[in-house]
Amino acid sequence: MSFDQTTTTADGRTIGGPVMEVKNITLRFGGVTAIKDISFDILEGEIRAIIGPNGAGKTSMLNVINGFYHAQEGQITFRGETRSRMRPYHAAVSGISRTFQNVALFSGMSTLDNIMAGRALKMNKGFIWQMLRYGPAMNEEIKHRRAVEEIIDFLELEHIRHTPVGQLPYGLQKRVELGRALAAEPSLLLLDEPMAGMNVEEKEDMSRYILDVNDQFGTTITLIEHDMGVVMDIADRVVVLDYGKKIADGTPSEVQRNQAVIDAYLGVPS
Amino acid sequence: MLYRESGQFKTNYKQDSAIFPILQDRIAIMFYLAVAFIVIPIFGSNFFIDSMMIPFLIFTLAAIGLNILTGYTGQISLGSGAFMGVGAYSAYKLVTIFPDTNVILLIVLSGFFAAGIGMIFGLPSLRIKGFYLVVTTLAAQFFLEWAFIRIPWLYNYNDSGAIEVPRREVMNVIVTGPEASSVTRYLIVLSIVVVMTWIASNLIHGRIGRSWMMIRDMDIAAELIGVRPLYAKISAFAVSSFYCGVAGAMMVFLWLGAAEVESFDSNQSFLLLFMVIIGGLGSLVGSYLGAAFIWMLPVVLRALPKLFGLDINTATVEHINFMIIGALIVFFLIIEPNGMARMWSMLKQKLRVWPFPY
Ligand SMILES: Nc1ncnc2c1ncn2[C@@H]1O[C@H](COP(=O)(O)OP(=O)(O)OP(=O)(O)O)[C@@H](O)[C@H]1O
Ligand SMILES: [Mg+2]
């Protein structure tokens, strides 16, 4: 299957050329090779899933993409810029934001402040104005508050706006974390198991939010997910990892029929 | 029924982003300010002002400083006493070098010296965390104490080794020195503390305060979002030390009148930490409550037995004082890590919905 040119999906979304190309990435921790020579691409506007059994290297892959881990070999091209190492700060600056497998919210801060925190990079008014909370600092605060309120509306978080997130149930925390990632207005959104530990209803809500983000804001999304049903429903293309190696790459239905994938999930030794 | 937000609709984010969105809170603040600025100067005895209000306000300011670092940014420090010292010695040098400059201005400026030293001692926080950072702040404490003794230039080579506050006037009113009146000194301390509380509150509610709290709650996520730990941590050390420094300068110039290195030793640092823990980590109101509690408790303990006609000697009172503080710290750390400030806000929450249970 080729997406070299702009294509339109069955549900009318536009998918463009590659925004990110991952080439021959190898990541080792001492003797353990978490990722072995993996290459794949992510296309503008698509929902790309990464799946695989536990310990396959999925989270490590996201960590390499946003500069949290440094791969020993290989390189990543994002929007025309090629690099083999970068700091997480620069990934954030270049428009990549993410959520974490184990929620990594600022637990002592309210929902509102957590999502405001997501706009950290967009706010820069100086110390003196911040001291006075006046003029440019106040204008900036209000401007971003308005954008954050839109996210709060979008994710239906109005009722917990002022609640410290540490007190929220897990499902809501995951949603706030999505909100925080969205607040940065990323062009590439990385989601690490956004539906882990959720019940069916919560999963449906989360799937809807992810599809809406992709559809309304045109955000390119890469997500890790264990629930195959969800992956089949929302992903455009799927990369399958097993023991740090890529064993399949294609549309959900292609991947589902792939013998290597079936073996990996059934535990057949390769 | 008195304390309600119903009916007070916020029609824009500016109102909702206000620091006291509820009308009754604003009225309460006005009331406290009126009491502090008008009622106490008129009706307060010199004893009350000198041994209760002035030290309470000065410790509050230092507690706010420590709270910014420990409560808001999550960097525990045992060096805040020494940073008060940096402010005090800087103010002393400034006042003797520039005898004709407004002494209130110099007291505030001395905060910048504390901020500078604080930034230097904050640098290790970029590499180390938790227990090891506590140890480096304690090392800063001991190093600075050593400097206060071993660098005679700091106390102008006095034989006593102490700094003594000279008499200074501002607009023909005696402000420092033994002849300065309690009310004058009180009003200066109060004004500085009120303005600096307002500034702290502004910082905390804005971009910079959020970056501090992000570092406190999850420093890795903060960096992934785009907060630079260097700026966030060092600015917290700077602001925190500035507050402690001004508090230290005021302590010598507007309260004690003279000081030696003992005023800034590690006991002082621990006392400030206790204020912050009991009052509430990450709360400005808590800094006031904690300072009031730790400062007023011994005074009350000394007065209580006399009220009941009992005669308990001072040593016993001291012991009881320490036992109560110790027990409370354990209590707050285990049961209510957010301190008295949390109890205060729960009380307000109850008032808000009263008389309904929820
Ligand atoms: N920081 C690290 N230090 C050492 N080993 C690591 C580190 N991070 C990951 N690994 C190892 O790399 C391998 C891949 O881990 P990773 O977390 O990427 O898997 P995963 O596919 O996300 O699994 P899961 O589905 O359980 O989340 C594992 O063997 C893990 O132990
Ligand atoms: Mg994982």
Ranges of each domain in chain B: 46-353
Of the candidates A88, A98, A100, which has its C-beta nearest B223's C-beta? A88
**Contact predicate A152/A179, CB 8 Å:** yes
Phi, psi of A170 (to 5 degrees): -55, -45
Q: Is the pLDDT of residue B231 over 60?
A: yes
Cβ < 5 A residues, ion ligand 2: A 59, 101
Please report, rounded to a whole number, the percentage of residues in chain B having pLDDT higher than 90.
60
Counting from 1 in the atom list of ligand 1, the atom nearest the Cα of A57 is 18
Nearest CA among B181, B162, B161, B160 for reference residue B170? B181
Shared domain for A158 and A227, answered yes or no, is: no
What pLDDT does residue A3 have?
Answer: 46
- Are A202 and A269 part of one and the same domain? yes
Read off the DSSP letter of residue B5.
-
Task: Tell me which ligand sits closest to the C-alpha of residue A56.
Answer: 1
Same domain, A82 and A209: yes
Q: Which CATH architecture has domain B46-353?
A: Orthogonal Bundle (1.10)
Q: State the pTM of this model.
A: 0.90
Cβ neighbours of B298 (radius 10 Å) = 17
Integer distance in angstroms from the first to the last C-alpha of chain B?
A: 14
Query: Which comes out higher in pLDDT, residue B347 or A241?
Result: A241
Would you say residue A38 lies in a domain? yes
Q: Of the candidates A184, A204, A223, which is a domain's last residue?
A: A184
Res B1: pLDDT: 41
- Residue B6 clears pLDDT 70, i.e. is over it: no
Q: Which atom of ligand 1 is nearest to the CA of A193?
A: 27
| Distance linking the first and last C-alpha atoms of chain A | 26
pLDDT tens-place values along chain A, 270 residues long: 444 567 887 777 888 889 999 999 999 999 899 999 999 999 999 999 999 999 999 999 999 998 999 999 999 999 988 887 778 888 899 999 999 999 999 999 999 999 999 999 999 888 999 999 988 999 999 999 999 999 999 999 999 999 999 999 999 999 999 999 999 999 999 999 999 888 899 999 999 999 999 999 999 999 999 888 889 889 999 999 999 999 999 999 999 888 888 888 877 665
**Measured between CB atoms, does B319 come within 8 Å of chain A?**
no
Q: Are residues A87 and A191 in the same domain?
A: yes
Q: What is the mean pLDDT of residues B74-81?
A: 94
Instruction: Answer yes or no: is A24 within a domain.
Output: yes
Considering the domain architecture, whether residues A1 and A116 belong to the same structural domain is answered as: no
Read off the amino acid at residue B227: V
Asked, for residue A128, whether it belongs to a domain, the answer is yes
- Indicate whether A100 belongs to any domain: no
What are B283's strand-pairing partners? none
Q: What is the CATH number of the domain that holds A6?
A: 3.40.50.300
Domain match, A23 and A153 both: no
What pLDDT shows up at residue A1? 44
Looking at residue B172, its pLDDT comes to: 86
| A63 Cβ contact list (under 8 Å, min separation 6) | A69
Distance CA A258, CA A250 (A): 10
Residue whose Cα lies nearest atom 16 of ligand 1: it is: A57
Strand partners for A49: A223, A238
Q: Is A100 in the pocket of ligand 1 (CB under 6 A)?
A: no
Ligand with an atom nearest the CA of residue A58? 1
- The answer to whether A69 and A27 have CB atoms below 8 angstroms apart is yes
Range of the domain at A60: 1-95+186-270
Q: Which pLDDT score, from 0 to 100, does residue B308 have?
A: 78
Q: How many domains does chain A have?
A: 2
Tell me how far apart the alpha carbons of residues A174 and B186 are, in angstroms, rounded to a whole number. Answer: 50
Q: Where among A184, A210, A233 does a domain terminate?
A: A184
Provide the pLDDT for residue B2.
52
Computed over every residue of chain B, the mean pLDDT equals 89
Q: Based on the domain organization, do A131 and A165 belong to the same domain?
A: yes
- Is A63 close to ligand 1, i.e. is its CB under 6 Å away? no
Angstrom distance (rounded) from CA B231 to CA B174? 41
Quick one: pLDDT at residue B143?
Answer: 96
Interface confidence, given as ipTM, is 0.89
3-class DSSP assignment, residue A237: strand
- Out of A184, A202, A221, a domain closes at A184
Q: Is A240 in the pocket of ligand 1 (CB under 6 A)?
A: no
Quote the ligand 2 centre to A219 CA distance (angstroms). Answer: 22
Residue A31 inside a domain? The answer is yes
Cα B270 to Cα B263: distance, rounded to the nearest angstrom: 12
Residue at A193 is within a domain:
yes
Q: Is the same domain home to A173 and A191?
A: no
**Partner-chain residue, chosen from A108, A132, A146, that has the shortest CB–CB distance to B217:** A108
For residue A191, the CA-to-ligand 2 centroid distance in Å is 10
Best residue among A32, A103, A239 to mutate for probing ligand 1, ranked by most atoms within 8 Å of CB:
A32
pLDDT at B29 over 80: yes
Residues in chain A, overall count: 270
Residue A120 to chain B, least CA–CA distance (Å): 6
pLDDT (average), residues B36-47: 94
The H or E element spanning position B266 is helix B266-279
Q: How confident is the model at residue B20, as a pLDDT?
A: 74
Judge if A6 and A58 occupy the same domain.
yes
Residues B114-173: tens digit of each pLDDT:
999 999 999 988 888 888 999 999 999 999 999 999 998 998 888 888 899 988 888 888
Region B191-204: what's the mean pLDDT? 97
pLDDT at A15: 86
Chain A residues whose CB is inside 8 A of the B211 CB are 120
Q: Looking at the structure, tell me whether residues A253 and A154 fall in a common domain.
A: no
Q: What is the pLDDT of residue A228?
A: 85
Q: Residue A125: its chain B contacts at CB < 8 A?
A: 207
Atom of ligand 1 nearest to the CA of A27: 12
Q: Are residues A179 and A62 located together in one domain of the fold?
A: no
Task: Tell me how far apart the alpha carbons of residues A145 and A113 are, in angstroms, rounded to a whole number.
Answer: 9
Residue among A182, A243, A251, A249 nearest A217 (CA): A182
Ligand 1 touching residue A55 (CB < 6 A): yes
- Assigned domain for A1 exists: yes
Give yes or no for B214 touching A (CB within 8 A). yes
Domain membership flag for residue A171: yes
Arithmetic mean of pLDDT, B173-188: 91
Q: Where does chain B show beta strands of DSSP type E?
A: 163-164, 168-170, 173-176, 258-259
Q: Is residue A210 located within the same domain as residue A266?
A: yes
Atom number in ligand 1 closest to CA A226: 25
Residue A22 tokens, joined: 């991952």
Given this model, what pLDDT does residue A2 score? Answer: 45
| Closest C-alpha to A236, from A221, A218, A246 | A221
A106 and B213: CB-CB below 8 Å?
yes
Q: Which of B24-28, B47-51, B176-180 is predicted most confidently? A: B47-51
Centre of ligand 1 from the C-alpha of residue A54, in Å: 8
A12-21, A59-68, B270-279, B304-313: segment of lowest average pLDDT: B304-313
Residues 220-249 of B with CB under 8 A from A: 220-228, 235
Residue A4 has what pLDDT?
53
Q: What is the pLDDT of residue A14?
A: 82
State how beta strands A237-242 and A47-51 pair.
Answer: parallel
DSSP state, A220?
A: E
Distance (angstroms) between ligand 1 centre and the Cα of A29 equals 9
